[in-house]
Structure formats: C-alpha cells, structure tokens
A = this chain, B = another copy of it.
C-alpha cells in the first residue's frame, strides 16, 4: 500500500550545487532519491518533491519534502532508516504520514528564512561557511528596520527578483522582517507567503546597504514601486542564508 510521507530535513549547503538535481552535480535531492530508491529496491527512481529549491551553498534547517512509499517501516523508525544511509550533511529530522493530496510545494502557506552576517573583525574559522563576513562592519540596525517597513505587505516584488526567472506573477506578501543580535552575529528573519528567486538575498543585500549608510531607509519605498531589479541592492551571498521553516495548513 502506498503512503504519502512528509519529511522535514536539514542540510549544510556548503558541498551541494543546490537542492535540485542537476547532471554531474552533487545535489540534496539526488542524495535523498538515491537512498530512497535503494531502500525501495526500485528500478525507477523514487522521486521526492520539496517545498522549493535552494541554491548552491544555501542551508536549510527546516526544508520539507514529500514522497510516496510502499515500505512498511514504522513511522518512528523512518527518519533513522534514512539517516543511517544519508551523507552526514543531510539529516532527516522528522517523517510523518500525510493525506495523499498533500504536496510539499503546492500546499505551502508560507516560509521563513534566516540570514546571518558575522560582524566580528576577524570571522571565526568555524563560521566561514555559515554566515556572511562583514570584516568588522556593524550596521545601523534601526535604519535597516525602518527600511524593512517598506518591504512588508503585499507588493509586486520584481525589484527583488533575479532576472530571467520564468515566474509571471511576482506579487507576494512579506509578513515579517525581524533583526536580532546573537553575540557579534546579526540575524534577520523574513517570513512571507512565498518568495521569488533570490528574493531574500536581494532584500538582505539592499537592507545591508541601508545599514551601512550607502542608502537611506526611505529609498526602499521607491525601490519596491520601481519593480526594477537594477534599483535594488546587491544579492547577498548564499552562505548566510537558511531556509528555516515551511508552513502548511493545519
């Protein structure tokens, strides 16, 4: 009997060419599909569907995927059964059975991302793949918070979307942008109903330019309204970004 499973996973994106399968590249999806295919003794690949892709070097602490299984492994052993075969930079945190119409991508209600800058004058060697170094620059977080107010709400986010994506409808709702210092690291969390390609990294890069005095916070109003990618700031680097949580209807 087929069961639809929802898996919550974490991965260290450092050594992956992103989430999605690409020929000749090491990807998160391929590693998981390899293990599932072996476990199912299947001639065809057992496919998994994620809430969305993540780019090379981007991390996840709460990515969600679904797949269909014919195995009778008890639910409370399923994560362990996967983890013993998966490489150690991917961990399955939880596996649950869901309704057959649950879809990891189409059922998404919202997502939360985290972006981390390490503002120590010398970045800890232990953080070199896990936060974006600022070489000791400490931004004006209150200016970043002010600027973030113009991003909140429902807008056409074309100005915050990498060019050349196939997506037509670029209207999204950003529910919350929050900042918190953890020692000398600045964390920004962004929550919304959906995100365009590179959207969080462009938000991070643009707010960083406000925090470091290259832009003033009120500029954000015009940037959002412009729907023009060239008006926004640089795309912040991938290594500071984490997909933290995917929300589904209860």
Contacts and interface: CB of A to CB of B under 8 A. Distances in A.
Interface of A: 10-12, 59, 61, 79, 83, 88-93, 122-126, 128, 130
Contact of A91 (B61, B79, B91, B123): B123
Give 7 nearest A-B pairs by CB, closest first. Answer: A12-B125, A88-B128, A89-B125, A91-B125, A91-B122, A10-B125, A12-B126
A40 to B, nearest CB: 22
Copies of this chain held together in the complex? 2
A125 B130 CA distance: 12
A89 B128 CA distance: 8
A219 to B, nearest CB: 33
Contact of A124 (B10, B124, B128): B10
A92 B124 CA distance: 10
Q: In the complex, which of the residues A59, A61, A93, A122 has the most CB atoms of chain B within 10 Å of its own CB atom? A: A122
Contacts of A10: 124-126
23 contacts: A10-B124, A10-B125, A10-B126, A11-B125, A12-B125, A12-B126, A12-B128, A59-B126, A61-B124, A79-B122, A83-B122, A88-B125, A88-B128, A89-B125, A89-B128, A90-B125, A91-B122, A91-B123, A91-B124, A91-B125, A92-B122, A93-B122, A126-B130
A222 B126 CA distance: 39
Contacts of A92: 122
A237 to B, nearest CB: 14
Contacts of A91: 122-125
